[in-house]
Structure 1
Amino acid sequence: MAGGNAIRGSRVGAGPMGEAERGDSAPRVHISYWCSNGHETRPSFAEEPGMVLPETWDCPRCGFPAGQDKENPPAPPKVEPYKTHLAYVKERRSDADGAAILDEALSTLRERGLIQ
């Protein structure tokens, strides 16, 4: 395709100058965080007077929380397994209670003539 438009595929502000055209970036500080799997994460933060660093940071490799103390990283969150509705009912009622409720429901259905 001969000819064509010279600015096709370009956008305003995208030039070869890059950061030098936009000015200096803020001074950065890199802080190390460690998770319970021993992964180190080093996010960078803008260095400001009175800045408050987060106590924990999510590990990008495993997703566990990471802390600044390498020897005592935060414990991974406890994940509860999925429970069905029946599992919750069994926590609240004993087998004898369940049998009594079932007998009552069956007798009601027999009185109505819905089952034999």
Structure 2
Amino acid sequence: MAGGNAIRGSRVGAGPMGEAERGESAPRVVISYWCANRHETRPSFAQEPGLAIPETWDCPRCGLPAGQDEQNPPAAPKAEPYKTHLAYVKERRSEEEGAVILDEALDTLRQRGLIT
């Protein structure tokens, strides 16, 4: 194989990509965020007028919300326990209201002859 192809294994657009080919990158600003576990996250944002920097950022290590104040990071969200449908109903109705509704439903079933 004496005569090979010099560009073998290459494709269009392959090769070193310099700033001249891609254009100039936008100016960046790096902001530090801290979570309740004292993890520091440093995402970078484009420095453009009118672009708002978020107040909080999710910590990639533990998932807690992180804020920009190292001494006062945001508190971890409280996990609400699972509630059944009955628990939600009891929050909206008193025992007396529930008894009235049950009596009305039983009367309707008796009138239809479905229960005795």
For 2:58, the equivalent position in structure 1 comes to 58
* TM-score normalised according to structure 2 size: 0.68
Deviation at 1:33, TM superposition (A): 0.9
Q: Which residue of 2 aligns with 1:98?
A: 98
1:73 alignment partner in structure 2: 73
- The count of corresponding residues between Structure 1 and Structure 2 is 110
Q: Match for residue 83 of structure 2?
A: 83
Aligned residue for 2:17?
18
Structure 1 residues 13 and 94 mapped into 2: Cα distance closer, same or farther (>3 Å)?
A: same
**Identical-pair percentage:** 74
* Cα gap change, 1:86 to 1:19, in 2 (>3 Å): farther
Gaps of 5+ in 2: none
- Which has the larger displacement, 17-26 or 62-71? 17-26
Distance, in Å, in 1 between the alignment partners of 2:77 and 2:22 is 42
Q: Give the Cα–Cα distance (whole angstroms) in 2 for the partners of residues 115 and 23 of structure 1.
A: 80
What value does the CA root-mean-square deviation take over the aligned residues?
A: 3.1
Runs of 5+ consecutive residues of structure 1 not aligned to the other structure: none
TM superposition shift of 1:71? 0.6
Structure 1 pair 46/98, CA: closer, same or farther in 2 (3 Å)? closer
CA distance in 2, matches of 1:115, 1:49: 72
**Residue 43 (structure 1) shift:** 1.1
**Which residues in structure 2 correspond to 1:20-59 (within 5 Å)?**
20=19, 21-23=21-23, 25-47=25-47, 53-59=53-59
1:110 matched residue in structure 2:
110
Q: Which amino acid aligns with 2:99?
A: A
Q: Distance in 2 between matches of 1:70 and 1:110?
A: 66
Q: Do the aligned partners of residues 95 and 70 (structure 1) sit closer, same or farther apart at CA in structure 2, a change above 3 Å counting?
A: same
Deviation, 1:7, is 5.2
Q: Which moved more, 1:45-54 or 1:27-36?
A: 45-54
- Structure 2 counterpart SS, 1:75: coil
Per mean C-alpha deviation after superposition, the further-off stretch among 20-29 and 91-100 is 20-29
